[in-house]
Amino acid sequence: MALRDRKEVMNHFFTDPSLIQGMDIYIHGDDVKHIKNVLRMKAGEEISVSNGVDDKEYRCEIVTVTDDEVRCRLRFIKEEGVELPLRITLFQGLPKADKMELIIQKAVELGAAAIVPVECKRCVTQLDDKRYAKKQSRWQEIAQAAAKQSKRAFIPEVGELMSFKQAIERAKDMECRCIPYELAEGMEATKAFMEMIKKAPAGAEAAVFIGPEGGFAEEEVELAQRNGITPVSLGRRILRTETAGMAILSMMMYELETH
């Protein structure tokens, strides 16, 4: 079948759990304008809705569209989960320019549960509190849009900016932790880490540390190792910071979804 003949992917939205009331589901906020004015959806059209809490997808039919509310009628609940059994937090070294936007978008699509920007020794970009608040708001919007596009059950959070030491402390209680490092030798540690995540219980947490342009400083990797974070290799080639996270998350997604 030609690509243009394929059925268009169903639109996906998020709503507050309190707005799922029996067979009636309500959507408020900015999504109302998007449904009414951008998508121009009408009564009778079908959408999917998540409440941002559980792993259910509510398939429903639009009943009415007003200026401030979309009311839908529940058709059925799709119980098959789209979320990974492991909650992955990407600790991303703060990159230059707008690279973070791409990193967040792709990390959400690949199943990350949270993204935490980290100030590392070799970070070029420096953000004060005011500038970071503006950036974080923008990044959270990107996470939300990516969650809708990929039909996630919840919207991953873009966390507060942390120092590398704070990030290590945040990750210390997570069950599976790795730090891709260009000087790590061979793929044995990578294979062992993938076996570890497959054996982790559902709901366990994983931490992935990705360096900025220029990578991690040697002392940062040593600090990570002292705190039980495993250096792993992503292959023989040197990857850009915006590629490295996608590579390791793709590997983890494959292992977790074929296990």
All structural domains of the chain with their residue ranges: 3-78, 87-257
User: 87-257 belongs to which CATH class?
Assistant: alpha beta
| Residue among 73, 85, 95, 80 at smallest CA distance from 21 | 73
CATH number for the region 3-78 comes to: 2.40.240.20
- DSSP state at residue 4: G
140: left (phi over 0), alpha (psi -120 to 50) or beta: alpha
pLDDT 10s digits, 230-242:
999 999 899 999 9
Distance CA 180, CA 187 (A): 11
**Could you read off the pLDDT of 194-209 as tens digits, one per residue?**
999 999 998 999 999 9
pTM here? 0.83
Overall average pLDDT of the 107-130 stretch: 92
The amino acid at residue 183 is: L
Q: Are strands 114-119 and 157-158 parallel, antiparallel or unpaired?
A: parallel
Contact 91/208 with Cβ under 8 angstroms? Answer: yes
Per-residue DSSP letter, 35: I
Give the span between the Cα atoms of 143 and 110, in whole angstroms. 12
pLDDT at position 2 over 80: no
